[in-house]
Structure 1
Amino acid sequence: MTVLARTIEATRRYGDVLALDRVSLDIRAGELVGLLGPNGAGKSTLINLFVGLRRPTSGTVELLGGSPGDPVTRRGIGVTPQETGLPESLRVGEIVDFISAHFPKKVEKGELLARFGLSDLIKRQIGGLSGGQKRRLAVALAFAGEPKLVFLDEPTTGLDVEARRALWDGVRAFHEDGGTVLLTSHYLEEIEALAERVVVVGRGRVLADDTVRAVRDIVGVRRVSLSAADLPDLPGVIGSEREDGRVHLLTTDPDRLVVELVRSGAPFSGLEIRPSTLEEAFLTITSKESAHA
């Protein structure tokens, strides 16, 4: 598959802070990649390198076969950063026209607004929009120039559930037409719902890079759920919570845990064992990285 964006041993420092540490990553045509990591992991810095807003301290960054610093090359991408500032006096239709004018090809205005559920706002001033409406507009603008590759940094921050799902539909439509997307999110269900490939970063390094299922399997975490009033200390438990009368235990060795539970003689019922969610896998990967730091 064609590589649209690439970092090779890319390092980025801000003074004494090491934001990215020799990161090598390829984004291939047609992929929808989810970038996960805690605050300060290097997600936004990585996107800034790809889109030419920052240069690596060392290493190489390639974009669409050229340099991210080339304005002509950047015409082939769309970007929604974490924070955007749109002119509040302009109307929604006017800002779409303004952004579209920067690109040789453009999506028809009505089609673009409809894709993200903004059709009824075309004549509204941006200053009169809600925060969620502004965010949806900012995401829609990333798709205005018929990009080959779109970078979305926390695209659904501040959106309610309905608006978030409407935005998901717009991103999916672009991807199904052959578009390529790299998105970051704190909403792990968003990554599970959208991404085919997951890249987990922490402390400036890539900790995992694979499918959602494979990322779960990498950490081998299983969720053991049961009903019990009290439980003894059990081996291999890396996390636990109690909810609605049930206890949920995270472990990498469910067989040993269950054997020790039976040996303890503690009464329990309704035992269930299932694979971890991406959230559980994510927390395990990043906690292991912190422990080794």
Structure 2
Amino acid sequence: MTTPALDVSGLTVRHGDVLAVDGLDLRIGRGETVALLGPNGAGKSSTVSAALGLVRPAAGGVRVLGRAPADAVRAGCVGAMLQHGGLPTEARVGEVLHLVRRSYPDPWPPDDLVATTGIDGLLGRPVEALSGGQRQRVLLALALAGQPPLLLLDEPTSAMDVEGRRAFWVTMRALAARGTTVVFATHHLEEADAVADRVVVLAGGRLVADGSSAAVRSAVSGRSVRLTAERLPDDLPGVTAVTRQGAVATLATADVEATLRALLDHRVPLTDLEVRGASLEDAVLTLTTGAAR
């Protein structure tokens, strides 16, 4: 049986009196792209920190490619981008990259690494002169410098604009195609929906959902009906909530067929009609709110 990239067993992490991770069990296979989702305080960052050996678990533990986290990091098996990752000051990007690459026995060839991460125009720039998005790309290059088989990312695109985020995920897909395991925590649910093979939803330090994005969405019942209508009948069957943006109404409904039939019976024109299933955002909100209760 192949050793998993990440094996979390009964992981419990405390920060003082705060229970950040509560007996979490999670296994991630090699080559998977996995999104960790959930609200602030769900335990995403604490789980990533435990996988990097940065926090000591109160109970349980983590194995990274069959090793203790600290051993895996020392062996160059793990690359990481953390929310508050820093760069040395009073240095140029190329100097920092050269220094980090020298710490690995088999570093990523520099020209390919620079091209892959899109930092070719930044090598001569002082670290202090980088924008937020540029810093993230440089941090990615440093995380990949040792050609790690596992990449752990905590809110990796938080400082990037739309174009930067798109380019970043093109890079992630290319890495996944090479066999790199990518685990990322994010609040950008559209990224998780588009990129991840698997979605893991945490709430209160516990796992509340684990599967493909489609499977997580399908676990939440209900659909939405969107149409242009100045007026709507009261008490439409199945409708649980109505929101408006001008003349456009969105009806959350537990019975879409009954809702549409009632609209037709009341001779409401179905102008610009659109019926949608639950989005990943809807599903995560429902799952995490239910877990909190």
Equivalent-residue separation in structure 1 for 2:176 and 2:83 (angstroms): 21
Q: How many equivalent residue pairs? A: 290
Decide whether aligned partners of structure 1 residues 118 and 267 sit closer, same or farther in structure 2, where only a CA change above 3 A counts.
same
Query: What TM-score does the superposition give when structure 2 sets the normalisation length?
Result: 0.91
Contact 1:153 1:185 in 2 (8 A): yes
CA distance in structure 1 between the partners assigned to 2:242 and 2:140 by the alignment: 37
C-alpha distance in structure 2 between counterparts of 1:71 and 1:179, whole Å: 15
Counterpart residue identity of residue 251, structure 1: T
Give the CA deviation at 1:83: 0.8
- Indicate the residue corresponding to 2:91 in structure 1: 90
Q: Which residue of 2 aligns with 1:284?
A: 286
- How high is the sequence identity, in percent, across the aligned residues? 42
**Alignment match, 2:149:** 148
Which aligned pairs between 1:101-116 and structure 2 lie closer than 5 A?
Answer: 101-116=102-117
Distance 1:243 1:77, change over 3 A: same
Whole-Å Cα distance in 1 between the matches of residues 109 and 160 of structure 2? 25
Q: Secondary structure at the match of 1:137?
A: helix
- 1:58 matched residue in structure 2: 59
Task: Tell me the SS of whatever aligns to 1:198.
Answer: strand
Cross-structure match for 1:224: 225
1:73 Cα deviation from its structure 2 partner: 5.3
Give the Cα–Cα distance (whole angstroms) in 2 for the partners of residues 80 and 72 of structure 1: 13
2:207 and 2:235 map into 1 onto residues whose CA distance is 34
- 1:93 match: secondary structure: helix
1:34 pairs with 2:35:
yes
Code of the aligned partner of 1:55 = R
Name the counterpart of 1:25.
26
Distance apart, 1:249 and its partner CA: 2.5
- TM-score (normalizing by structure 1): 0.91
Name the SS of the counterpart of 1:56 in structure 2: coil
Aligned residue for 2:118, secondary structure, equals coil
| Matched letter for residue 103 of structure 1 | Y
Give the distance between the partners of 1:192 and 1:208, measured in 2 at CA: 14
Q: 1:182-240 CA deviation, whole Å, 9 max, x = no partner?
A: 01111111112211100011111111100011111111332211222233244654554
Shift of 1:262: 5.4
Q: Could you tell me whether the CA contact under 8 Å between 1:100 and 1:144 is conserved in 2?
A: yes
Is contact 1:87-1:126 (8 Å) kept? yes
Question: How big is the alpha-carbon RMSD for the aligned residues of Structure 1 and Structure 2?
Answer: 2.0
Does the C-alpha gap of structure 1 residues 134 and 288 become closer, same or farther in structure 2, counting only changes over 3 Å? same
Matched, 1:258 2:241: no
Letter of the aligned partner of 1:131 in structure 2? G
Shift of 1:109: 1.8
**Matched-pair contact (CA < 8 Å) for 1:237–1:250:** yes
Q: CA deviation at 1:72?
A: 5.8
Q: Please tell me whether the aligned partners of residues 51 and 74 of structure 1 are also in contact (alpha carbons under 8 angstroms).
A: no
Relative to structure 1, the CA distance from residue 235 to residue 139 in structure 2 (aligned partners, 3 Å threshold; closer, same or farther) is: farther
Describe the SS at the equivalent of 1:95: helix
Give the 3-state SS of the residue equivalent to 1:35 in structure 2. Answer: strand
